[in-house]
């Protein structure tokens, strides 16, 4: 769909096959971060009036759309205009999710992910630190992403295999037992899935009826490189990672997907994946490991396979 964009694409999300958002690196030419929007049949690039990389996008049909990124930036897009929201810090907002426009989460840390972990919640028009956030986590780790199945079942994943679970009242730290970064978390009606790893890919699942402190199951495909993005539907799922790698989930579990696009993606990595309501699969990436985040690519598959196994 797009290739060689000035900014790498770090996140893709939408409300339908004809309403898709992709955000990413600052173009480096004074026009600010890359924000692409597919509306009906055409793509357009929107200028935010801001600078710096945008790491994640999440929103709601009819708006608003939230985008998080460098320097504590959170943008809200509504009624055709961007607003920079008030935030309590200057760390990188790596992940955003919410069950409703007034029930939003943002997580992040210092650039590079070495420390500075934080979690914020939206109250009114301002973001505030979450009460009870473990201070020791901020000293040693960062949080990469957040996703939930509602206000009382939210997971946050980060560096060193660290996780946080929110039950509606309390944040509880957890650990997957492996000192590997977990970059993205997603869920459907049966399970949460988290991906990460360095060199060798890590794909973990956690049944929704399991206790928060129960072990996560390692279901990693044996040939997977580092995995960065994951998305589940009720029937299937996709995970993406280094060098254009894609894995698909069917009734028999996870398996490597042969896309035929490895040469097109080359040394670039896929950072995010999203499945639209009609089963189309969207994967975003580029040169995402070290700055400048550039050479963006966006891939699309019309329909998801019923069982890749």
pLDDT higher than threshold 60 for residue 43: yes
pLDDT higher than threshold 70 for residue 306: no
Cα 274 to Cα 284: distance, rounded to the nearest angstrom: 9
pLDDT higher than threshold 90 for residue 264: no
CB 34 within 8 A of CB 24: yes
- The mean pLDDT value for 12-20 works out to 96
Displacement of CA 212 from its chain's centroid (Å): 21
- β strands within 125-189, DSSP E: 126-129, 143-148, 154-158, 162-166, 171-175, 182-187
All domains in the chain, ordered by first residue: 2-301 (2.130.10.10)
pLDDT digits (tens, 9 = 90+) for 181-234: 999 999 999 999 999 998 899 999 999 999 998 999 999 999 999 999 999 999
Sheet holding 246-250, edge to edge: 227-232, 237-241, 246-250, 253-256
pLDDT digits (tens, 9 = 90+) for 127-140: 999 999 998 999 99
The reported pLDDT for the residue numbered 304 is 53
pLDDT higher than threshold 90 for residue 176: no
CB 117 within 8 A of CB 141: yes
Q: How confident is the model at residue 146 (pLDDT cuts 50, 70, 90)?
A: very high
Percent of the chain with pLDDT over 70: 98
Q: How confident is the model at residue 303 (pLDDT cuts 50, 70, 90)?
A: confident
Q: How confident is the model at residue 309 (pLDDT cuts 50, 70, 90)?
A: very low
Residues 6+ away with beta carbon under 8 Å from 41 = 18
Cα 211 to Cα 223: distance, rounded to the nearest angstrom: 30
Three-class secondary structure of residue 134 per DSSP: coil
Mean pLDDT of the residues in the chain: 93
Half-sphere CA count of 7, side-chain side, radius 13 A: 25
Is this structure's pTM higher than 0.85? yes
pLDDT higher than threshold 90 for residue 179: no
- The mean pLDDT value for 27-53 works out to 94
Cα 42 to Cα 7: distance, rounded to the nearest angstrom: 19
The reported pLDDT for the residue numbered 41 is 72
Residues 6+ away with beta carbon under 8 Å from 195 = 182, 183, 184, 201, 202, 203, 204, 227, 228, 229, 230, 239, 241
- The mean pLDDT value for 52-67 works out to 97
Residues pairing with 126 in the sheet: 86, 123
**Measured between alpha carbons, how far is residue 88 from residues 58, 71, 154, 165 in Å?**
20, 11, 21, 21
**Residue 175 CB neighbour total at 10 angstroms:** 12
Window from 121-125, 208-212, 231-235, 258-262 with minimum mean pLDDT: 258-262
The reported pLDDT for the residue numbered 308 is 41
- The mean pLDDT value for 112-126 works out to 93
pLDDT digits (tens, 9 = 90+) for 79-111: 999 999 999 999 999 999 999 999 999 999 999
The reported pLDDT for the residue numbered 307 is 47
């Amino acid at each position: 769909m797009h290739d060689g964009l000035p900014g790498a694409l770090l996140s893709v999300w939408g409300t339908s096959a004809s309403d898709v958002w992709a955000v990413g690196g600052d173009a480096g030419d004074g026009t600010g971060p890359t924000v692409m929007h597919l509306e009906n049949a055409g793509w357009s690039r929107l200028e935010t009036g801001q600078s710096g990389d945008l790491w994640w996008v999440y929103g709601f049909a009819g708006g608003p759309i939230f985008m998080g990124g460098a320097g504590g930036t959170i943008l809200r897009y509504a009624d055709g205009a961007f607003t920079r929201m008030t935030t309590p810090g200057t760390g990188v907002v790596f992940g955003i999710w919410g069950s409703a426009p007034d029930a939003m989460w943002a997580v992040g840390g210092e650039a590079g992910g070495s420390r500075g972990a934080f979690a914020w919640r939206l109250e009114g028009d301002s973001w505030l630190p979450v009460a009870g956030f473990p201070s020791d986590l901020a000293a040693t780790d960062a949080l990469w992403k957040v996703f939930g199945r509602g206000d009382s079942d939210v997971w946050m994943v980060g560096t060193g295999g660290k996780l946080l679970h929110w039950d509606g009242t309390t944040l509880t730290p957890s650990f997957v037992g492996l000192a590997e970064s977990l970059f993205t978390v997603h869920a459907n009606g049966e399970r949460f899935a988290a991906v990460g790893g360095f060199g060798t890919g890590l794909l973990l699942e956690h049944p929704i009826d399991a206790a928060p402190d129960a072990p996560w199951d390692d279901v990693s495909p044996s040939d997977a490189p580092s995995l960065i993005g994951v998305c589940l539907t009720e029937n299937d799922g996709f995970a993406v990672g280094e060098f254009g790698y894609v894995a698909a989930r069917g009734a028999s579990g996870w398996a490597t997907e042969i896309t035929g696009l490895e040469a097109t993606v080359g040394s670039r990595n896929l950072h995010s994946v999203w499945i639209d309501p009609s089963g189309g699969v969207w994967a975003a990436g580029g040169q995402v490991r070290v700055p400048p985040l550039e050479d963006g690519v966006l891939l699309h598959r019309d329909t998801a396979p019923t069982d890749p196994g």
